[in-house]
Each structure stands twice: as C-alpha cells, then as structure tokens.
Structure 1
Amino acid sequence: MTARIRVEIEDDEDGAETRSLARWLTRDSSITPRAGVALDQADGVDDMGGVIEVISLVVSSAIGLGSLVVSVASWRDSRPKPGRVRFRLPDGSLVEVVEDGEAVIHDLAAAVGVLGGGDAPDRP
C-alpha cells in the first residue's frame, strides 16, 4: 500500500526553503528508492495571492517513512534558522516538526498504520 504525504514549510514566502528541501530529498540515496519526490503546488494561495509550493512524496513502506523523517531532520539541522516543517498525511492530519525530534518521530510513527503497519508505541 502506498501513501501520498505532502511536506510544507511554514513562512516560506519565496519558496526557496521548499525547493532546498526538495533538492535535499532528491539527492538523498536513502529516500529516492523508497519515495517519489516532486515539487507541487499547494491547494490554496498565500495572503499575497502567490501559489505556495509543497513537496509531494509517495511513500510505500514504513522504512521509506522513517528515511523521510531522518532526512528532513538532517536538512533542518543544516539550516541557519530552520522553520516549521509540516507533514500532511493522507487523512488530512498534520504533524509539525518544530524542535522535539523524538516527539515528531513518534507522531509520524502513528502514520505507519496508513502504510499497513501496526500501532505506534505509546508516546513518552
């Protein structure tokens, strides 16, 4: 079973951070075999009327989802002022990456059920 996950970066008015993350994910050899990565347009427009870009990924396994989380965390660590990264899951729910990587990994592990996995462990 596959799932489409959208990755959004908050307050990325010119789309530079979104494009940077898309390049990062495309070049990550642990991601590309497990997840199709594409730059896409968001469903809406921003306050100034411009189209907001998002990254659209097709993930087909828990391993692909785990690789995605690790890669996004690594990308955030490389940024001078990392913004919030949001994962929009197939059911429409959002998981935000702010500071606490362990909590984010747990929240995204809960999404493994979307990919045919089991239940996520209890949150610490």
Structure 2
Amino acid sequence: MANVLIRVEADTGAETRALYRALRHDPDLSRLAKLSACEGDPPAADELGPGLDAILAVVDGAGALGALLVSIAAWRDGRSTKWTVSVEREGVRVELQGSSREELERVVRALEGPRGGDT
C-alpha cells in the first residue's frame, strides 16, 4: 500500500474539493483506492465550505495508481480551466498536465520508480 498526495495547483480549495467529489463518485476507483480529504484553512467570507489543501489516496500497486491517474485526468479534461494537478508519492512529486496514454504512463513510471510496481 502506498500513500499518494494529490493537489490542484494554484487553487483556493474549491477545485480540489470538486476533484475529491469526482474521485469519490467514481465506482471503479472506489474499489481500488481509499480517499480522504486534507482540510485547509477555514473558508473565506465568500466561500461555502472549508478549503481543501489536498487529497490523500491509498493505493496498492501500479494498476490502482494508474486507475487513480485516469480518474484525475478525466476530471481535469472536463474542467473549463485545465488545472495542473500534482501527485506525490514517497517524496516524488510529478505534475499531471494532460490525459494522453503517454502522459499517464510517464507519471506512473515516475511515481513507481525502480520498485517495479509492487509495494
């Protein structure tokens, strides 16, 4: 099992919260990853709820990590602003900026490193 920290860059918390909701409602991902919210500062006067700093996902292996990244990329593609999403695992931080197969494979390889996928 590995902890993966997910952040929507340059966000006040609203987009991170939207991503968290989307990931929690993905039926395929719900079997592969355990998700929790990392709450941020209290909301500003014009915000509805507390800020969300990051999302913590617990995944088991490269397949679950890949499924997580596919869900993140699908969410990102559906947004009017193409937010940069950072994904961090064991001190390795990678930015997900697209949804192509090559991009997703690049991010999985970077996060899996020399371990070969089994953790």
Band of TM-score, shorter chain: 0.7 to 0.9
Residues 19 and 99 from structure 1, CA distance in 2 versus in 1: closer, same or farther, beyond 3 angstroms? same
Question: In the alignment, what sits opposite 2:85?
Answer: 85
Residues 1:21 and 2:15 are matched in the alignment: no
Question: Which residue does the alignment assign to 2:30?
Answer: 32
Aligned length: 109
| 1:100 to partner: Cα distance | 6.4
| Alignment partner, residue 95 of structure 2 | 96
Task: Mark the runs of 5 or more structure 2 residues left unpaired by the alignment.
Answer: 42-50
Q: TM-score, normalised by structure 1?
A: 0.75
Tell me what 1:8 maps to. 7
Q: Structure 1 residues 7, 27: closer, same or farther in 2, change over 3 A?
A: same
In the alignment, the residues of structure 1 paired with residue 59 and residue 115 of structure 2 have an alpha-carbon distance, to the nearest angstrom, of 8
C-alpha change, 1:115 and 1:33, in structure 2 (3 Å) is: farther
Aligned identity (percent) is 33
Which residue in 2 is equivalent to 1:64? 64
Uncovered stretches (5+) of structure 1, i.e. residues with no partner = 46-50, 119-124
How big is the alpha-carbon RMSD for the aligned residues of Structure 1 and Structure 2? 2.4
Where 1:31 maps in the other structure, the secondary structure is: helix
**Structure 2 equivalent of residue 122 of structure 1:** none
Q: TM-score, normalised by structure 2?
A: 0.78
Asked whether the 8 Å contact 2:70–2:99 carries over to 1, the reply is no
Partner of 1:105: 105
Q: Distance in 1 between matches of 2:5 and 2:79?
A: 20
